[in-house]
């Protein structure tokens, strides 16, 4: 699945940086019906995690009230050069990952 990650390529040590992550997912609520009355089963992302050089820096539990193609923005302190890893986990065994690098001076 396609993910859109926005992390600054460069930062000064100690800067607070914004990280934005968007992934494509229907986020089917499980509360909708088809025109002939059948309930559409729930299919959502339930968990998002961001790790910075292996350490978890942000985690979120998501519910059906999160809009389709879930977008999350959060902050972290730029401590060292390295890699951000993003992981989305959801219903029906859904799992997807993405990563981004940063150079800290």
Partner 1 sequence: MPTTRRQFLNLAGGVTVAGTIPIVTLRPLHATPAMLNNAIRNVVGEAQIRTGRVKLDIPPLVENGNTVPMTVSVASPMTADEYVKSIHVFNEKNPQPNIGNFYLTPSSGRAQISTRIRLADTQKVVAIARLSDDTLRQVAADVVVTLAACTEEMN
Task: Enumerate binding residues for partner 1 (CB under 8 A).
Answer: 16-17, 29, 31-35, 40, 56-68, 70-77, 79
Nearer CB in complex with partner 1: 10/32: 32
Shortest reach from residue 13's CB to partner 1, in Å: 12
Nearer CB in complex with partner 1: 5/60:
60
Minimum CB–partner distance for residue 8 and partner 1 (Å): 13
Distance between CA atoms of residues 44 and 70, nearest Å? 10
Rounded to an integer, what distance in angstroms lies between the CA atom of residue 76 and that of residue 89?
22
Distance in angstroms (rounded) separating the CA atoms of residues 52 and 32 = 37
- In the complex, least distance from residue 72 CB atom to partner 1, rounded to whole angstroms: 5
Three-state DSSP class for residue 14: coil
Helix (H, G, I), strand (E, B) or coil at 73: strand
């Amino acid at each position: 699945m396609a993910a859109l990650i926005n992390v600054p390529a460069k930062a000064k040590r100690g800067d607070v940086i914004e990280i934005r992550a968007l992934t494509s997912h229907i986020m089917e609520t499980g509360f909708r019906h088809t025109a002939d009355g059948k309930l559409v089963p729930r299919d959502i992302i339930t968990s998002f995690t961001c790790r910075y050089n292996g350490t978890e820096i942000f985690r979120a539990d998501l519910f059906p009230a999160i809009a389709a193609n879930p977008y999350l923005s959060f902050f972290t302190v730029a401590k060292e050069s390295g890699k951000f890893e993003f992981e989305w986990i959801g219903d029906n065994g859904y799992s997807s990952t993405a990563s981004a690098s940063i150079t800290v001076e």
